[in-house]
């Protein structure tokens, strides 16, 4: 699916997300931030200038985002940019509850941040027997290949298929293929392969 489908889900269905930065002590720090807006260029959130989160994002210009709803999850890692008051009015129109948190002129304390270059994934286990995994890309990045792949030298013994919880390994052709859109990345296929040719992408 197009990444924009998942960005829309992140903002309109999940909305609240765990956002990670690096704290002053050098360790990861998380907090819950509402994802306020999305378009084909990325996702947008806001925070007040007086917050430590604001300082961290301004300094690091990079965040990790994870959100879940039901049995589905969206995760992103990428670059973030302060765009000031741009899109602030639109955010308040689409997120009416913000008007009560920051009434009238008090919204001047807020600035908008744009996640403009990021990669991540959508993962859904709503149907446990048929999980769904898909890549998300924002900006000029290319989707990163993850998971396991079958190298050359496969004998077609079928042990990998028998060990696969999702049965997402296709043995019907000359080359054995793992369907990444349904793979759990559990690694059992690699462990059981007698030829040791199933490898994890780095």
What does the pLDDT look like over 36-69, one tens digit per residue? 999 999 999 999 999 999 999 999 999 999 999 9
User: 129 and 71 in contact (C-beta within 8 Å)?
Assistant: no
Phi/psi at 166 (nearest 5 deg)? -100, -5
- CA distances for 198 relative to 69, 148, 175, angstroms: 33, 7, 12
CA distance linking residue 93 with residue 80, whole number of Å = 22
pTM of the model: 0.87
Give the pLDDT confidence of 135-153 residue by residue, as tens digits: 999 998 776 777 899 999 8
Biggest CA-to-CA distance, the chain:
70
Domains and CATH numbers, the chain: 3-138 (2.30.110.10), 148-200 (3.30.70.20)
């Amino acid at each position: 699916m197009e990444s924009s489908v998942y960005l829309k889900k992140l903002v309109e269905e999940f909305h609240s997300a765990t956002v990670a930065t690096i704290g002053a002590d050098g360790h990861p720090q998380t907090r819950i931030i509402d994802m306020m807006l999305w378009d084909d260029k990325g996702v947008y959130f806001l925070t007040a200038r007086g917050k430590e989160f604001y300082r961290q994002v301004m300094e690091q210009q990079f965040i990790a985002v994870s959100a879940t709803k039901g049995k589905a999850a969206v995760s992103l890692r990428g670059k973030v940019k302060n765009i000031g008051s741009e899109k602030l009015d639109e955010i308040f129109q689409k997120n009416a509850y913000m008007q009560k948190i920051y009434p009238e002129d008090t919204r001047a304390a807020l600035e908008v941040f744009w996640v403009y270059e990021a990669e991540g994934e959508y993962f859904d286990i709503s149907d446990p027997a048929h999980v769904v995994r898909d890549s998300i890309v924002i900006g000029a990045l290319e989707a990163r290949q993850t998971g396991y792949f079958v190298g050359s030298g496969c004998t077609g013994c079928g042990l990998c298929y028998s060990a696969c919880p999702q049965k997402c390994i296709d043995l019907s052709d000359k080359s054995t293929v793992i369907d990444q859109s349904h793979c759990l990345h559990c690694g059992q296929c690699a462990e059981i392969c007698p030829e040791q040719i199933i490898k994890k992408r780095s």
